[in-house]
């Protein structure tokens, strides 16, 4: 049975399904009274429950962020927003479930793997290919890489988001490599490796979050450490020390500027290309997300200031440029 299609729920719909608890919000009125609201999600979206007042607090006493829960209820409307009115909520054992079915996802990932693996196989520099295969021929690595989100909350914050983002960066980087004369193989290697630190910086077993290492060291340096550790496992390094240094440099410099968290700035053409491709993928995704969000446009075609875009506003256009649309 497919998961409840949250975005298309209608008032008075009856709901009986499994959800992930994305957040447990405790709120206190100015009057001193307090209540609890759960944010529930699955792969299709998310929805809030009605408030649990003190009289019903024991119904949600053991519910925590990241728990899978079995819920029975009905869709209500408060003002313009849908709410779940709950008649029963029960925490499920985590082991019995595939939690990933309850998180937002980019959908099937084969198409991304096909693209990336295809480009990888086209690499003609033997030692470079050797390095990449250490990671991308490793099933364990691939498994984690295809689940990891590209951010905790922001662009591509979905299961598979990292893989999708990496594919996008690779596609954009190919175009920039071509116009600027950068080395395609080296750029591709940098693209594939630049965000591997997110595998250790983020957690996705339950709601997306930062790991302790993610908070204390950051994904940029974690990627650099993971790269170093993996190559040291080999009896014989697949590449020279200087070549290794160049790839490390690409991982470390991909945020482009010190104030954005890169400890060094790009010094090679390939690192520069990677930086702009990464930026173009991440920032255009953020703008696309902002324009898609109906709640920002309640007052007209100019949105409210967007926190994800440094308080920029975006504009929703509806011009057809004379095109007679069919659909």
Give the Cα separation of 77 and 66 in Å (integer).
26
Q: Which residues in 205-224 contact its own copies (CB under 8 A)?
A: 210, 212-213, 215-218, 220-221, 224
Judged by CB under 8 A, the residue of 21, 68, 246, 254 near its own copies is: 246
Judged by CB under 8 A, the residue of 18, 83, 105, 166 near its own copies is: 83
- Please, what is the minimum distance in Å from the beta carbon of residue 276 to its own copies? 4
* Cα within 13 Å of Cα(43), Cβ side: 15
Judged by CB under 8 A, the residue of 180, 205, 234, 305 near its own copies is: 180
68, β-bridge pairs? 20
- Please, what is the minimum distance in Å from the beta carbon of residue 101 to its own copies? 25
- Please, what is the minimum distance in Å from the beta carbon of residue 136 to its own copies? 16
- Is residue 208 within 8 A of residue 156, CB to CB? The reply is no
Please report whether residue 61 would count as binding its own copies according to CB under 8 A.
no
DSSP E strand stretches across the chain: 14-28, 34-42, 45-49, 68-78, 81-91, 202-203, 209-210
The region of 66-74, 100-108, 139-147, 167-175 touching its own copies under the rule CB under 8 A is 167-175
Beta-carbon count within 10 A of 223 CB: 25
Q: Which residues in 138-157 contact its own copies (CB under 8 A)?
A: none
The region of 3-11, 93-101, 145-153, 172-180 touching its own copies under the rule CB under 8 A is 172-180
Beta-carbon count within 10 A of 149 CB: 27
Q: Which residues in 294-313 contact its own copies (CB under 8 A)?
A: 301-302, 312-313
Query: What tokens were used for 137?
Result: 């021929």
Q: Which residues in 90-119 contact its own copies (CB under 8 A)?
A: none
DSSP E strand stretches across 80-122: 81-91
Judged by CB under 8 A, the residue of 39, 56, 127, 142 near its own copies is: 127
Give the Cα separation of 22 and 86 in Å (integer).
16
Please report whether residue 259 would count as binding its own copies according to CB under 8 A.
yes
């Amino acid at each position: 049975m497919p998961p409840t299609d949250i975005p298309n729920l209608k008032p008075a719909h009856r709901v009986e399904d499994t959800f992930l608890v994305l957040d447990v919000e405790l709120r206190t009125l100015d009057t001193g009274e307090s209540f609890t609201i759960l944010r529930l999600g699955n792969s299709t979206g998310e929805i809030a429950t009605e408030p649990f007042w003190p009289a019903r607090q024991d119904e949600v006493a053991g519910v925590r962020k990241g728990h899978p829960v079995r819920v029975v209820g009905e869709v209500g409307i408060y003002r313009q927003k849908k709410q779940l009115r709950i008649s029963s909520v029960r925490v499920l054992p985590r082991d019995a479930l595939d939690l990933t079915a309850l998180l937002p996802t980019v959908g099937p990932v084969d198409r991304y793997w096909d693209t990336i693996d295809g480009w990888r196989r086209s690499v003609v520099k033997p030692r470079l290919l050797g390095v990449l295969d250490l990671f991308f021929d490793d099933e364990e690595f691939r498994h984690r890489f295809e689940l990891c989100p590209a951010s905790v909350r922001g662009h591509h914050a979905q299961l598979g988001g990292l893989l999708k983002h990496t594919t996008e960066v690779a596609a954009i980087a190919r175009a920039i490599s071509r116009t600027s004369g950068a080395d395609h193989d080296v750029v591709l290697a940098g693209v594939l490796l630049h965000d591997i630190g997110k595998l250790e910086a983020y957690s996705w077993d339950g709601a997306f979050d930062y790991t302790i290492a993610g908070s204390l060291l950051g994904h940029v340096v974690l990627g650099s450490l993971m790269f170093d550790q993996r190559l040291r496992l080999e009896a014989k390094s697949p590449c020279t020390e200087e070549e290794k240094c160049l790839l490390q440099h690409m991982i470390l410099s991909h945020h482009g500027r010190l104030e954005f968290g890169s400890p060094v700035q790009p010094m090679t053409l390939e690192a520069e290309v990677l930086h702009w491709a990464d930026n173009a993928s991440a920032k255009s995704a953020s703008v696309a997300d902002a324009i898609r969000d109906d709640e920002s446009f309640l007052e007209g075609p100019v949105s409210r200031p967007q926190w994800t875009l440094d308080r920029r506003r975006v504009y929703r256009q509806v011009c057809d440029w004379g095109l007679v649309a069919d659909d």
